[in-house]
Structure 1
Amino acid sequence: MAVTSWIRPAPYDASAASLTEHAHAIGEVMAGHGRLWLGPFDPPAQLPAGFEDAALVVPTSGSTGAAKAVALSRQALLASQDATASLIGHGYWLPLLPPTHIAGVQVIARAHRTAQVLGLDGPALPRPLPDLRGHFDSTAFVALAEPALAQAQEAGLPALTSLVPTQLTRVVTGATGADARARAVLRRFTAVLVGGAATPQEVLARARGQRIAVRTTYGSSETAGGCVYDGTALPGVRLRIDGADAEGAGRLLVSSPTLALGYLFADGSSEAIGTELATSDLTSLDAEGALSVLGRADDVIITGGRKVLPQDVERAIDRSLMLRGLVRSAVVVGVPDAEWGQRVEALVTLEAGVEPAEAASLVRSALRTTEVPSFMIPKRVHVVQELPLLGIGKIDRSAARRVATDLTDPAGG
């Protein structure tokens, strides 16, 4: 790419003007006319060797706490977009995610790719682009989606969108008339991608039971977004498990034409990814090659020599009938413990009107009625106003671990 300067939009504020500026910048990348920098620090004066083809730089959440960014080539972006289109087709995209991370960028980039492939006079996006500053709920979704659906129909294109699990959950589990209307609108989309974090199986089952064409995605900034849809790798993507245990679970390795060039750091250093990405995800593959993500290998809690996958405990909390209508969300972490090495603890947010003083004992009592072994039941449960988040709806487990370490909750002991 001959262009060496970077396009740097003003900080994203979710307004229509801000979304339009970002969409234009993404279009420049897709046309091969510019490089887009969305990294969490200033770009280097000169790209390191091996990064000369970088066309897009996005922030990523590392476990070390050091700011880093992922550099992607235009070729990797195109490979991702075309692989996705081979599954769900080129279509008209409703952007509902911030275009500051790979998932939101790719929604807009796919709309530009639709225009390139089909010869349209502009990206297959709503005109004008929506204002996303308001709180996302069913009423807001309907107001955004209905005009987009009308424009997609007029263009003769399938309507597509992407949500994070929290957004999908609000629509499919709501009990109001506005929620029912939102579900009817969401059914009109040819595909609804959901990723960014684990989606509760109950939510997916309800969505599919409501005839919503939800497609789960697995991927990261390093893979240019989703590279596995509904457990199946996209064309050209190869998965393998490293260091599998007796149950077949191990760290996931990914080879793909969508892989990033590597990482850039604030101090000017870099780290190439190469031809295979070693993820931090603990996964398994069944006999047909379908992927199951069990959690992040780095998040495994070792307590008294026993291994605890926090997601197993979180799913048990989410599925507990005793906690339905009481606990809104939960994250399970390990905190240092002199006797056990690590101690299992939980942060929970509550539904309106629930008494915090009773929540800790209720969570522990409810888990005792499940198949969760006693050593996996949190020793302490801390009630917080909000769970710490990073990216677009992902739980910040490092921050949650710090919160749990700093808090003392006598009711949870």
Structure 2
Amino acid sequence: MTSKSSLRAIPTEDRAWLLAALADALQGGAPVLPVPEGADPKAIQRLQGEELPQDTALVVRTSGSSGIPKAVALSAAALRASAEATHEAFGGPGQWLVALPPHLISGLQMLVRSAESGVAPEFYDGPFDPAALLARAERMRHERRYVSLVPVQFGRLLALAEADPAAADTLRSFEAVLVGGQAISLEMRRRAHSLGIALKRSYGMTETAGGCVYDGVEIGDTRVRIRAGEVQLAGPTLALGYVGDAQLTADRFIIDRGERWYRTGDAGYLLGGMLSVTGRLDRVIISGGVNVSLDEIERVASTHLGGAVVAAVGIVDPQWGERPVLVVEGVDHVIHEGAEELSAALRAELGPAAIPARFVEVAELPRLEGGKPDHRQISETIT
């Protein structure tokens, strides 16, 4: 069922208004669309003209690495179920340090948790600086402190904590450091463990109202299954669907034996009841007739390079059809000096088709708003 839209567009820079509107929507008030500075006003107006699924409380615009814009409708029940599951997994509510964009689900869910607990969040502003973020953390007064980050932010915090004992103490003071948005390397996890940091790995997406699997295990009433290599999710946190796109909603949200499942498009497997996500199903190229996962190339390369930030993309090749190219963040000539070693590691673990056609070093990778590498823009840059 749908209802006539009464969608309120709220500028995210007006935090008081956003927090009040979100709290009202969670209690059955008008649905909210958080709008970042610089958003296209015509796109917002078009979205406000769409009919919304019944019970919509929040609409989140999202654009993944494919660049295809989507607007996800979430109910108050789904948002509350997600917040409650996180509080239960962490041992209780606390104060959140918000360092992620408040128009994306990663930032918004911290505001929902805050609204549900009645504990006002602390905000970090400006370009990410690990020392400045930890200085902001010192202003938090609640006995339980939480922060949610993306891997590139967490990596910079780890580097500071390894060099500065005081920074390490502040980072250890968080009851949980929730990191999601993309895979976290084993090397990064080891470094966090050695410092005594309460790292929690999050897996989820806008369509699940945020993280719903922590450290490979479902939280709340989330259920996970694998079908044809794809991770599929069910439970009370699922979105109502995509605004203005019934076909996409029907394709991604399916009913199986009376239960509603979300087809994530992620590849993964369950081992001993724990979920491991290996990458995107659409991030596979065919090189010389061999399927090659670009996400797996990134995993092996990052591990081999000590946790370096990398991006693998595919390029057209007249002989092999497609071949991978590996782009590494940080111009320090590590790749050019160690390309042979890295190629050998990729060959040993993934096969010869995974060896990149070339290696590229850049000062900084293009990124999406949520912090993930923008593979589409990277591809356009190198081809």
Deviation at 1:63, TM superposition (A): 5.8
SS of alignment partner, residue 157 of structure 2 = helix
Is residue 2:51 matched to residue 1:47?
yes
In 1, the alpha carbon distance for the partners of 2:146 and 2:96 equals 5
Go from structure 1 to structure 2 and tell me whether the alpha carbon gap of 1:350 and 1:4 turns closer, same or farther (over 3 Å shift): closer
Partner of 2:327: 347
Partner of 1:246: none
Is residue 2:135 matched to residue 1:143?
yes
Go from structure 1 to structure 2 and tell me whether the alpha carbon gap of 1:83 and 1:268 turns closer, same or farther (over 3 Å shift): closer
Partner of 2:358: 380
Deviation at 1:345, TM superposition (A): 0.8
SS of alignment partner, residue 38 of structure 1 = strand
Taking the TM superposition and a 5 Å limit, the aligned residue runs for 1:56-71 are 56-62=58-64, 65-71=67-73
| TM-score, normalised with respect to structure 2 | 0.87
Greater mean alpha carbon deviation, residues 234-243 or residues 213-222: 234-243
1:198-223 CA distance string (max 9 Å, x none): 11111112112211111101000000
Deviation at 1:83, TM superposition (A): 1.4
Deviation at 1:270, TM superposition (A): 6.8
1:365-403 CA distance string (max 9 Å, x none): 131342343321101122333222113111222222222
Contact 1:6–1:35 (8 Å) recurs in 2: yes
| TM-score, normalised with respect to structure 1 | 0.81
Contact 1:142–1:181 (8 Å) recurs in 2: no
Deviation at 1:90, TM superposition (A): 1.6
Go from structure 1 to structure 2 and tell me whether the alpha carbon gap of 1:233 and 1:374 turns closer, same or farther (over 3 Å shift): same
Contact 1:255–1:277 (8 Å) recurs in 2: yes
User: Aligned residue pairs: how many?
Assistant: 363
Deviation at 1:237, TM superposition (A): 1.1
SS of alignment partner, residue 271 of structure 1 = helix
In 2, the alpha carbon distance for the partners of 1:82 and 1:289 equals 22
Deviation at 1:298, TM superposition (A): 0.4
In 2, the alpha carbon distance for the partners of 1:133 and 1:31 equals 31
5+ residue gaps, structure 1:
13-17, 116-122, 244-249, 407-413
Contact 1:3–1:33 (8 Å) recurs in 2: no
Partner of 1:132: 125
In 2, the alpha carbon distance for the partners of 1:255 and 1:268 equals 19
SS of alignment partner, residue 37 of structure 1 = strand
Partner of 2:191: 206
Partner of 1:109: 112
Contact 1:364–1:378 (8 Å) recurs in 2: no
Greater mean alpha carbon deviation, residues 277-286 or residues 338-347: 338-347
Deviation at 1:360, TM superposition (A): 5.1
2:278 corresponds, among 294, 299, 322, to: 294
Partner of 2:30: 34
Partner of 1:24: 20
Deviation at 1:269, TM superposition (A): 8.0
SS of alignment partner, residue 196 of structure 2 = coil
1:254 corresponds, among 233, 240, 260, to: 233
SS of alignment partner, residue 309 of structure 2 = strand
Is residue 2:152 matched to residue 1:152?
no
Greater mean alpha carbon deviation, residues 300-309 or residues 252-261: 300-309
SS of alignment partner, residue 174 of structure 2 = coil
Greater mean alpha carbon deviation, residues 368-377 or residues 275-284: 368-377
Partner of 1:171: 157
1:161 corresponds, among 129, 147, 167, to: 147
Deviation at 1:22, TM superposition (A): 3.0
Is residue 2:318 matched to residue 1:335?
no
In 2, the alpha carbon distance for the partners of 1:363 and 1:29 equals 54
Q: Identity rate of aligned residues, in percent? A: 35
Is residue 2:339 matched to residue 1:364?
yes
Contact 1:3–1:34 (8 Å) recurs in 2: no
Contact 2:152–2:371 (8 Å) recurs in 1: yes
Contact 2:343–2:356 (8 Å) recurs in 1: no
Go from structure 1 to structure 2 and tell me whether the alpha carbon gap of 1:33 and 1:375 turns closer, same or farther (over 3 Å shift): same
Deviation at 1:253, TM superposition (A): 1.1
1:207-261 CA distance string (max 9 Å, x none): 1221111110100000000010110011311111111xxxxxx111111110001
SS of alignment partner, residue 132 of structure 1 = coil
Partner of 2:78: 76
Partner of 1:390: 368
In 1, the alpha carbon distance for the partners of 2:180 and 2:276 equals 14
Deviation at 1:175, TM superposition (A): 6.7
In 2, the alpha carbon distance for the partners of 1:332 and 1:279 equals 21
Contact 1:363–1:381 (8 Å) recurs in 2: no
